[in-house]
Amino acid sequence: MSAADGKQLLGQVDFNIAGVLQNTLANIQGARVSFEQFGAARAEISSVEKLQSDAEHAFAEFKDLVAVQFGDSAAEILTVKKAQATADSALASLTTTVQATTKSVDALTGRVTKAEASVVSISEAQTKLDSAQATFEQQATAKFTAQDQQFKEQQAAINQKFTAYADATSANAIYTLKAGVKYNGNYYDAGISVAVLANGNAVSTRVAINANELVMLSGNGTANMYSPFAIVNGQVFLNDAFIQDGTITNAKIGNYIASNNYVPGQSGWLINKDGNAQFNSITIRGDVYANDGVFKGVIYARDGEFTGKITATSGSFKGTVEADSFVGDVANGQSFPDTGYSTSATVAFTYTDSGTANREKTITLMASYRLNPGGVCTAAIKIGSRVKTFQIQSPYSSPSAANFYTTLMFSVKTSSRSVDCSFYSENGAVQILSPTVLVMRGSGSFVQTT
């Protein structure tokens, strides 16, 4: 705030604006005094005029007093009218002071109490060659003093002031309304200022309020009154608000924030103060970190990292999925074409893990072997550097007998990412049928019972 309206709003109330009681104008030369007195009781109506004029100025003042007094109690109304003028200035003022005071002394305890009240009104108009100013001020003041109390003096006042000022380059209009108290030695106040300040090319219009609590009331009748808006100790409280467009740097939500169409489980969105939230759908352009989660629909992801638990009824991953372990076994298999019946029947291939880490896996090779009647063969299955050989002999010797079929299988655990595998025969003719490889990795456990 500027110095002009800020000083009026933030300055302390003058509790002594009324001054001391006049009681009488009889001590002023030329005063006209009418009074009656009976013992401690006195009543007076008096007035006094003062006139001056010379080569430099003209001055006129008129005071009139209505005063009564009874012992230590007194009341009066004092009016002072003043006007003066010079070649380059003029001033007119009217001051009305209404005061009352009561004082008592307890004869037994010596306790002294004094109550004072006043209402002051000051009107002033002033002009100069380069400016004009008008002020109007009113104040009601109450004061109570007790000499034997810990806090001897309590004071309260309400003040309002109108100020209008104009010159060749500026124009100011300021209104202030203030309430102030001195309570137990401490000063407290509240006030409002309405100001229009024009200076050069800048014009400010401002309404300022000084208070620990600012409350707006609405409603119809006492029973229906409520506060839609309040400011308490620097915090703003809104009972209900509609903001068409807003920008918030920081915000704290005491309970929850939700859309106006929020219906749990159906529509809208909600963010609760405990961190729980509900949305119908969401697009996240950055990273997502979660300890666990439940997905009831389909998940689409190019890549991702989950440090916690994922529970989903279904999902689709367009990229690569790699994990240290899986709950539920993972297997990959491949079958190859049959060979011809030959002494050099061979099926060879290389398995390469799609993962980048060397994780342990079980590789199983299996195939059916056909021998003609009376046939004998040494068959071999090779997985990496491990080889398993089998001696196969047909139990049928008659050339017209049926062919002999048998199935051979060999499994190896390995951590190699790339593994060479093959089926072949070392001697004797044989046909390899449905050569198949199965690569398995899982997190389950097995216990052999027999």
Domain, as residue range, for 374: 330-441
Would you say 95 and 80 are in contact if contact means Cβ atoms under 8 Å apart? yes
* pLDDT confidence of residue 227: 79
Asked which of 188, 210, 232 is the last residue of a domain, the reply is 210
The model carries a pTM of 0.58
pLDDT value at residue 364: 95
Number of independent structural domains in the chain:
2
Last residue of some domain: 165, 183, 210?
210
CATH code for the domain in which residue 427 is found: 2.60.120.760
Per-residue pLDDT of the chain (450 residues; tens, 9 = 90+): 556 788 888 888 888 888 888 888 888 888 899 999 999 999 999 999 999 999 999 999 999 999 999 999 999 999 999 999 999 999 999 999 999 999 998 888 778 889 999 999 999 999 999 999 999 999 999 999 988 755 578 999 999 999 999 999 999 999 999 999 999 889 999 999 999 999 888 899 989 999 888 888 887 776 677 777 788 887 888 777 778 888 888 888 889 999 989 999 899 999 999 888 998 888 888 877 777 777 777 777 666 666 666 666 666 666 666 666 655 567 889 999 999 998 889 999 999 887 777 788 899 999 999 998 888 999 999 999 999 999 999 888 887 888 999 999 999 999 888 999 999 988 888 999 999 999 988 656 666 565
410 and 388 Cβ atoms separated by less than 8 Å: yes
pLDDT for res 307: 66
Q: What is the per-residue pLDDT for 161?
A: 96
What is the predicted pLDDT for the residue at 50? 94
Residue 58 in any domain: the answer is: yes
Residue 275: per-residue pLDDT: 86
**Does residue 346 share a domain with residue 199?**
no
- Per-residue 3-state assignment (H helix, E strand, C coil) for the chain: CCHHHHHHHHCCCCCCCCCCCCCCCCCCCCCEEEEEEECCEEEEEEEEEEEEECCCEEEEEEEEEEEEEECCEEEEEEEEEEEEEECCEEEEEEEEEEEEEEEEECCCCCCEEEEEEEEEEEEEEEEECCEEEEEEEEEEEEEEEECCCCCCEEEEEEEEEEEEEEECCEEEEEEEEEEEEEECCEEEEEEEEEEEEEECCEEEEEEEEECCEEEEEECCCHHHCEEEEEEECCEEEECCCCCCCCCCCCCCCCCEEECCCCECCCECCEEECCCCEECCCCCCCCCCCCCEEEECCCCEECCCCCCCEEEECCCEECCCCCCCCCCCCEEEEEECCCCCCECCCEEEEEEECCCCCCCCEEEEEEEEEEECCCCEEEEEEEECCEEEEEEEECCCCCCCCCCEEEEEEEEEEECCCEEEEEEEEEECCEEEEEEEEEEEECCCCCCCCC
Asked if residue 85 belongs to a domain, the reply is yes
Same domain (yes/no): 335, 201: no
Residues 204 and 338 in one domain: no
Same domain, 205 and 349: no
53: in domain: yes
**pLDDT at res. 201:** 82
Q: Give pLDDT, residue 64.
A: 96
| Residue 228 belongs to some domain of the structure | no
390 in a structural domain: yes
**77 and 206 fall within a common domain:** yes
pLDDT for the residue numbered 218: 82
200 shares a domain with 334: no
- Among 159, 180, 210, the domain-final residue is 210
